[in-house]
């Protein structure tokens, strides 16, 4: 019986070794807004589908920028609050496939970004937003200012979910504590 297994196993191994497995590039960071001023295109990526209360990490991709040292990003809230986003240059690291996202590459959104990095300048900054509603995004560079409006939503999980899990866990713990206290020695 042993001799009849080996050819099958060997054939399967050969079949396995001869195959190829290319990878598709995946999705990247969600775009919050795209702005255009003259020759310059600016795309602002968020860390979530929509901007949210709490800390947002904003990634800025700018193409056609003449002075890459002085872009300024700020947010203006519904109540007039102005928040400045301290932008820092983003380090782009190439992947083992040279940082280029081709159809056979094995990397995700980062490779797409890395490919685009050849003619774009990247910045990243964090900003803490406290109120929901429509905020204005203002980007200033090369002496030009462009603005757009973005929606800011409440961050975090659904309150119903938190209430359910919190009550289930808390309720059981309280029940356990009460039952144990009622036992003669205070423990089970």
Binding residues vs other proteins (CB under 8 A): 1-2, 5, 8-9, 12-13, 15-17, 19-30, 46-49, 52, 54, 57, 59, 88, 90-97, 99, 101, 103-111, 113-114, 122, 124, 155-157, 161, 164-165, 168-169, 172-173, 175-177, 179-180, 188
Which of 98, 96, 140, 92 lies closest to 119 in space, CA to CA? Answer: 92
Judge contact between 125 and 51, C-beta under 8 A: no
Judge contact between 152 and 52, C-beta under 8 A: yes
User: Could you tell me the smallest distance in angstroms from the CB atom of residue 92 to other proteins?
Assistant: 5
Other C-beta atoms lying within 10 Å of the C-beta of residue 174: 10
User: Could you tell me the smallest distance in angstroms from the CB atom of residue 127 to other proteins?
Assistant: 13
Residue 37 or 73: the one with the smaller Cβ distance to other proteins is 73
Which of 28, 51, 57, 42 lies closest to 122 in space, CA to CA? Answer: 42
User: Could you tell me the smallest distance in angstroms from the CB atom of residue 175 to other proteins?
Assistant: 7
Judge contact between 112 and 95, C-beta under 8 A: no
Residue 37 or 65: the one with the smaller Cβ distance to other proteins is 65
Residue 133 or 169: the one with the smaller Cβ distance to other proteins is 169
């Amino acid at each position: 019986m042993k001799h009849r297994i080996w050819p099958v196993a060997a054939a399967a191994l050969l079949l396995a070794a001869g195959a190829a497995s290319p990878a598709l590039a995946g999705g990247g960071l969600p775009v919050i807004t795209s702005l255009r001023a003259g020759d310059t295109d600016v795309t602002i990526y968020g860390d979530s589908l929509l901007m949210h209360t709490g800390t947002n990490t904003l990634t800025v991709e700018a193409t056609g920028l003449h002075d890459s040292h002085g872009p300024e990003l700020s947010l203006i809230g519904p109540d007039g609050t102005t928040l400045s986003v301290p932008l820092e240059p983003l380090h782009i690291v190439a992947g083992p496939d040279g940082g280029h996202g081709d159809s056979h590459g094995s990397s995700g959104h980062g490779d797409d970004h890395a490919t685009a990095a050849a003619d774009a300048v990247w910045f990243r900054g964090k900003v803490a937003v406290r109120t929901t509603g429509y905020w204005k995004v203002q980007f200033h560079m090369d002496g030009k200012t462009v603005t757009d409006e973005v929606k800011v939503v409440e961050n975090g999980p659904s309150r119903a979910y938190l209430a359910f899990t919190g009550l289930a866990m808390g309720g059981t713990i309280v029940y356990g504590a009460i039952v144990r206290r009622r036992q003669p020695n205070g423990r089970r």
